[in-house]
C-alpha cells in the first residue's frame, strides 16, 4: 500500500501542478476523473483492463478513449487519462484522484475530516462537529462520516494529520495502557 501512496502522490502532484495553470477547469476535471475512477471501481472487467499487463498499451488506450468519449469528458481529462493508461497507472486512479482532491482542498484552506462514529449522527450533531473542528484547525472543514460499531460510543476524527479519539473504545484502550504501565 505504501507504494500505491507514493505513486498516487507523485501523479496527483504532477496533475495538480498542471491544472493550477487553468484553475477554471480544475474542478470539472477533478469531477470527471472521480467519475471515471468510480466507473472502474464498480466494473470488474474495466478494473481488470486497468490493472493487468495482459492488454497492450494500444488496447488499454482504446478502452480509455472509448469510455472518455461516452462520458463526454473534457479534452484535458481525456489527456490525463491517456497519460495514466500509457504509463500503466490506471490501477491507481482512485488513490490519485483522492490525493488530488486533498491537494485542491489545501489550496482552498479547507481541511478534510474523517469522522467515525458508532451510530448515525443527525445533521445538528454533524454541524456541531464541523464547527468545533473548524475552530480547532482554523480552516473551513469538509467532513466524511463513517459508521464503525467497534467504537462502542463516541467518535474518532482524523483531521490535519492528527487523530482525535473521543470514543469509548479509545478511552478503554488508553485506560488499559495506563493500567498496564502502572500509571493508574
Q: What is the CATH number of the domain that holds 143?
A: 3.40.30
- The angle subtended at Cα 13 by Cα 8 and Cα 17, nearest 5°, is 150
Q: Are residues 93 and 128 in the same domain?
A: no
The CA radius of gyration of the chain, in Å to the nearest whole number, is 20
Residue 24 clears pLDDT 80, i.e. is over it? no
Q: Are residues 96 and 124 in the same domain?
A: no
Q: What is the CATH number of the domain that holds 49?
A: 1.10.520.20
Our count of domains for the chain comes to 2
Q: Are residues 12 and 70 in the same domain?
A: yes
* pLDDT score for 23: 60
* pLDDT score for 33: 95
Residue 141 to residues 36, 54, 126: CA-CA distances in angstroms? Answer: 26, 43, 11
Residue 124 to residues 49, 128, 131, 143, 150: CA-CA distances in angstroms? Answer: 44, 6, 11, 13, 23
Q: Are residues 96 and 128 in the same domain?
A: no
Q: What is the pLDDT of residues 121-169, one digit of tens each?
A: 999 999 999 999 999 999 999 999 999 988 888 999 998 778 999 888 8
Q: What is the pLDDT of residues 56-110, one digit of tens each?
A: 889 999 999 999 999 999 999 999 999 999 998 988 999 999 989 888 888 888 9
Q: Of 105, 126, 161, which closes a domain?
A: 105
Strand segments, DSSP code E, in 31-126 are 110-117
Amino acid at each position: 500500500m505504501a507504494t500505491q501512496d507514493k505513486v498516487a502522490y507523485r501523479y496527483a502532484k504532477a496533475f495538480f501542478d498542471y491544472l493550477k495553470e487553468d484553475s477554471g477547469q480544475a474542478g470539472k476535471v477533478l469531477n470527471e476523473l472521480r467519475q471515471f475512477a468510480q466507473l472502474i471501481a464498480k466494473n470488474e472487467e474495466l478494473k481488470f483492463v486497468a490493472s493487468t499487463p495482459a492488454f497492450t498499451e494500444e488496447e488499454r488506450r482504446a478502452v480509455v478513449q472509448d469510455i472518455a468519449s461516452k462520458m463526454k469528458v473534457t479534452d484535458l481529462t481525456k489527456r490525463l487519462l491517456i497519460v495514466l493508461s500509457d504509463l500503466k497507472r490506471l490501477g491507481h486512479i482512485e488513490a490519485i484522484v483522492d490525493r488530488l482532491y486533498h491537494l485542491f482542498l489545501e489550496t482552498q484552506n479547507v481541511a478534510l475530516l474523517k469522522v467515525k462514529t458508532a451510530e448515525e449522527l443527525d445533521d445538528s450533531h454533524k454541524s456541531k462537529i464541523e464547527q468545533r473542528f473548524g475552530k480547532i484547525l482554523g480552516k473551513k472543514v469538509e467532513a466524511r462520516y463513517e459508521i464503525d460499531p467497534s467504537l462502542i460510543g463516541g467518535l474518532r476524527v482524523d483531521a490535519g494529520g492528527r487523530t482525535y479519539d473521543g470514543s469509548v473504545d479509545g478511552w478503554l484502550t488508553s485506560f488499559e495502557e495506563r493500567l498496564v504501565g502502572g500509571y493508574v
